[in-house]
Structure 1
Amino acid sequence: MRRPVLDLRQVTKTYGAGDTAVHAVAGVDLVVERGDYVAVMGASGSGKSTLMNIVGCLDAPSSGRYLLDGVDVGRLQERQLSLVRNRKIGFVFQSFNLLARTSAVENVELPLAYAGVRPAERRRRALAALDRVGLAGRVGHHPNELSGGQQQRVAVARAIVNEPVLLLADEPTGALDSRSTADMLDLFDTLNASGRTLVIITHEDEVAARARRVVRMRDGEIQTDVRSAARELAP
């Protein structure tokens, strides 16, 4: 039996103490199997962003246990966490987070450079990732020479170039127009169909509707966790 990509067990995150304590995440249990496509939704203050930071190993839970691809991240030192983030998680952010003075292919190469991959191999893999997201003709362009949708595609290429076990996206369509949003969601569908595991944080129903499973949070807890029968039947 394959181990899940994510396994959160009674995870909490509390800021402050006593009467002023804020329970941002309150006893969350969440399992995401390999190849799943999950949208996490919730109003501002629901805990979804805090949960994303924990899942992305950007913040540590106050209590509970988190296993990422079978690794208990609570037992890792900071250097080990950095390696896990680079090798096992691909991040996509609303604001793209591209280096302005660096070409598309050089932006995509960054995770490989941090991992110590040799220049020729990282160039080959970065070009392949850009081709996969439909930007083979824009590899030498800088971010300011690309549309918002194209910049986000570069960000996705950078996120998948290391072949991570998890693609974690935080409001990935928040800065895109409707056409670019549709294109990005089509790309996510394609990546998931190829076996990629996706967890997307979003407040947009249109984005969540493309996922196979929707998790809704409220007051730091998972309120509903519903699998889409229609998406499960889709090819």
Structure 2
Amino acid sequence: MESQQPPVIQIRHVTKSYGHGDATVHALRGPGGDRPQGVSLDIEQGDFVAVMGSSGSGKSTLMNILGCLDVPTSGRYLLDGIDVGHLDEQQLSLVRNRKIGFIFQSFNLVPRTTALAQVELPLAYAGVRAAERRRRALAALSLVGLADRAGHKPNELSGGQQQRVAVARALVTAPAMLLADEPTGNLDSRSTEEVLAIIDGLNATGRTVVLITHEDEVARHAKRVIRLVDGAIISDVRQAKVDGPPPALDLAGARP
């Protein structure tokens, strides 16, 4: 059944260039030769999209734009119905906090800070009261199987556990989209499967996921694979997901 809601992500004719004159680099340009049309893309609520491409393909630039970490040179981007091109820096910061859950390859955890406090951080920035922050952070840690590690600091956790803390932190604000940049790049094979199973489960409950990866095995978990070359989308394919049901997750406790 087609989604009756507007796309979580809607970009139209987006380009991104760096430099000037002969030194200009067109990181995103889309098709069109001498007259590039820019990149256009819709991602519906509940989709799971893997974005792939080699170094220099434009996938990192696209991720930064989708994550409101950078702005396009031209074109339009609507995130969950919000035209981000009309927002100032403070408003963009609020959108990042409330609408996007980031998961990075390097975990980006704060040293000497407990897992519980790490997960509470986005809620603290959003002004959520302490008791509610704790409740929601504990619920998010429980979802990723780390309720018993709430008091542990990063140096007391394995790499896989650290990334699961990062996943809990990303989902605790109930964002419109999880944006994962090479989330398994620093993990061994067992931890990779554990983290991907959690992401599968979150998507199965309706969470929209955009995953940046260069690994085919990781991309196999997605419902849809987009490939970029030289700043343009060259393919956008629906695929059968990997075998095996995702774990059942109850997100109610982690929602606002």
> Residue type matched to 1:171 in 2?
E
Give the aligned partner of residue 147 of structure 1. Answer: 158
2:234 equivalent to 1:231: no
2:23 equivalent to 1:12: no
**Match 1:156 to one of 167, 173, 176:** 167
SS of the aligned residue for 2:152 comes to coil
Give the aligned partner of residue 73 of structure 2. Answer: 62
Question: 1:185-224 counterparts in 2 under 5 A?
Answer: 185-224=196-235
Quick one: distance in 2 between partners of 1:165 and 1:218?
Answer: 27
Quick one: distance in 2 between partners of 1:30 and 1:64?
Answer: 11
Asked if the contact 2:111–2:154 (Cα under 8 Å) also holds between the matched residues in 1, the reply is yes
Higher helix residue share: 1
> Residue type matched to 1:18 in 2?
G
**Match 1:2 to one of 5, 11, 21:** 5
> Residue type matched to 2:184 in 1?
T
Q: Give the stretch that moved more between structures: 155-164 or 10-19.
A: 10-19
Quick one: distance in 1 between partners of 2:89 and 2:22?
Answer: 31
Residues 68, 44 of structure 1: alpha-carbon distance in 2 compared, 3 angstrom cutoff? same
**What TM-score comes out, normalization by structure 2 length?**
0.90
SS of the aligned residue for 1:231 comes to coil
Quick one: distance in 1 between partners of 2:88 and 2:111?
Answer: 32
In the alignment of these two chains, the number of paired residues is 234
Deviation at 1:233, TM superposition (A): 10
Quick one: distance in 1 between partners of 2:80 and 2:167?
Answer: 21
**Match 2:88 to one of 54, 77, 84:** 77
SS of the aligned residue for 2:65 comes to helix
Question: 1:93-172 counterparts in 2 under 5 A?
Answer: 93-172=104-183
Structure 1 stretches of 4+ with a deviation exceeding 4 A read 232-235
Deviation at 1:221, TM superposition (A): 0.5
Deviation at 1:17, TM superposition (A): 1.6
Give the aligned partner of residue 29 of structure 1. Answer: 40
**What TM-score comes out, normalization by structure 1 length?**
0.98
Deviation at 1:47, TM superposition (A): 0.3
Asked if the contact 1:212–1:232 (Cα under 8 Å) also holds between the matched residues in 2, the reply is no
Q: Percent identity over the alignment?
A: 71
Give the aligned partner of residue 56 of structure 2. Answer: 45
Asked if the contact 2:221–2:242 (Cα under 8 Å) also holds between the matched residues in 1, the reply is no
